[in-house]
Amino acid sequence: MDTHSSHLAASNRSRSSQSPSPSHSASASATSSIHKRKLASEDHAPPFPPSSFSADTRDGALTSNDDLESISARGGGADSDSDDESEALGDDDEDFDHDSSMRNFTAARLDNSGGSAAASARNSKLKTENLTVKIENSDSAKDGGGNAGTGTVGPTSSVPGIMVKEDATKIFTDNIQTSGAYSAREELLKREEEAGRLKFVCLSNDGIDEHMVWLVGLKNIFARQLPNMPKEYIVRLVMDRSHKSVMVIRRNHVVGGITYRPYVSQRFGEIAFCAITADEQVKGYGTRLMNHLKQHARDVDGLTHFLTYADNNAVGYFIKQGFTKEIYLEKDRWHGYIKDYDGGILMECKIDPKLPYTDLSTMIRRQRQAIDEKIRELSNCHIVYPGIDFQKKEAGIPKKLIKVEDIPGLKEAGWTPDQWGHSRFGTLTASTENAKKHLTNFMRALLKSMHDHVDAWPFKDPVDARDVPDYYDIIKDPMDLKTMSKRVESEQYYVTFEMFVADAKRMFANARTYNSPDTIYYKCATRLEAHFQSKVQSGLQAGAKIQ
């Protein structure tokens, strides 16, 4: 018999999927019809040289061009009428809640002052405190020892107002994500395996009834998911004894699998088919399957690489499994061994000699843990401080004056009083107290000047919603001279002159937002603003020092 004569399958072999992953359906439908896969040999020529073919068949294995008649009758016989079986495989009653296990990763922020002596001292102190729970009221931190008049500040206790979480493990689980989406899915499936609800098996056509039933189930999934691949061709390879199939079995039903041929002498394997039943896709089975395959191929077959012709719409999946379009494997190790295709993309995956493929999640978790511990050595980002009390009274004036030094955690983060940023006040020393008084007087004078202006009447009081019912629907941040005056008199609100100017500008902008240019309100706003600006200008020139 001519072993190359069964080109009936070869001429139109294509693996384009019928029901690609939901998340990729758009691209899949666009590509599946045009990227039909064909053996390069087409109808007449063998797909690869007979010499390499015969070398492969030293163990009597079938290849794509072997005659179908030589396929195991047990497997082939079950082919035609069992298509529906694959549908029955997708029991939904054990759906896993993958979403719940997906968490957002909050990147820990490294303390950039970690290298300094001060920082190390601080860190070692905090590490010690890490062992105990320490909760202080932030108010006590604000009040304790602070002296606004002299500028000596705040807390006297070592780390006031800090709430350090109880133990390292708890911090780890509470604050830091223990696993990403990838690991979460892997862990979930691993637990299912450990509980015996899920298993991964690697089989070939060994004649054992149960195995044959699974292989037929897998063949049916391939037939459905790779509709452009001739069914006879699928049967032939799945039942070929030189091919192996790694399968996901749940409740004794096949959920999906990968059929591959290990070329042991060449130490690489060719993935022929890979599919998960339609309603179980994008739940992590494909990934776990691939991990089991890699582990088995490395540890049992001694393989170092996988090659496959990936359907265009499955390239994304293979990339996520570590496959590349670049082929690094020396050509003489694979050329002539695997079938060439038109369409599809040849991809390669190097199997790592050490990675624990079926327990990657544990490895990743340990790595995260190690990184987390290192971050906590270098920074304080795991310490949670109480928030600032932002309670306000009338006119948005804070109920309690908060000094910068009293902001919980600020000093511990490396802040020092010389880092005042954009504040034009500087520290609350006696001289800046003078500056503060000076500023208050200047703002008072500006307010009075505006108040006395002929165009000030629309701005003297807050707009009354009874008079203008839709005003507060449009103006979300209202301002008026009375509110500004209260803020000035509180001597707490306007800690910078810019804040005062910003309020005035907002007041004028509001008037021009709500009213049209032809209205008196709009015109008053423009004239009063010009007056205000000239007063600010002349006041500053006359030496009204703001700081």
Asked whether the beta carbons of 225 and 275 are under 8 A apart, the reply is yes
Could you give the C-alpha distances from 27 to 18, 20, 21, 216, 315, in angstroms and in order? 12, 9, 10, 30, 11
Pick 20 or 409: Cβ nearer ligand ACO: 20
3-state secondary structure of 276: strand
Check residue 388 and report its DSSP letter: P
Q: Which residues bind ligand ACO (CB under 6 A)?
A: 15, 17, 20-21, 23-24, 181-182, 225-226, 271, 273-276, 281-287, 308, 310-311, 313-314, 316-317, 320
In angstroms, give the least distance from the CB of 221 to ligand ACO: 8
Residue whose entry in the numeric block shows the structure tokens 């008199």: 489
In angstroms, give the least distance from the CB of 248 to ligand ACO: 9
In angstroms, give the least distance from the CB of 313 to ligand ACO: 5
Q: Which residue is nearest to ligand ACO (CB)?
A: 286
Pick 287 or 510: Cβ nearer ligand ACO: 287
Pick 19 or 510: Cβ nearer ligand ACO: 19
CA–chain centroid gap for 453, Å, is 57
In angstroms, give the least distance from the CB of 222 to ligand ACO: 8
CB neighbours (10 Å) of residue 55?
14
Asked whether the beta carbons of 308 and 274 are under 8 A apart, the reply is yes
Q: At what angle do helices 497-514 and 520-541 cross, to 10 degrees?
A: 160
Residue whose entry in the numeric block shows the structure tokens 């034009």: 424
Asked whether the beta carbons of 47 and 64 are under 8 A apart, the reply is yes
In angstroms, give the least distance from the CB of 321 to ligand ACO: 7
Select which of 270, 280, 348, 405 is catalytic.
Answer: 270
In angstroms, give the least distance from the CB of 546 to ligand ACO: 55
Pick 311 or 372: Cβ nearer ligand ACO: 311
Residue whose entry in the numeric block shows the structure tokens 């060719």: 270
Could you give the C-alpha distances from 525 to 257, 336, 461, 464, 484, in angstroms and in order? 74, 85, 14, 18, 16
CA–chain centroid gap for 100, Å, is 14
Alpha carbons 325 and 338: distance in angstroms, whole number: 16
Pick 281 or 485: Cβ nearer ligand ACO: 281
Alpha carbons 154 and 168: distance in angstroms, whole number: 29
Pick 181 or 388: Cβ nearer ligand ACO: 181
- Say whether 270 is catalytic: yes
Q: Which residue numbers are catalytic?
A: 270
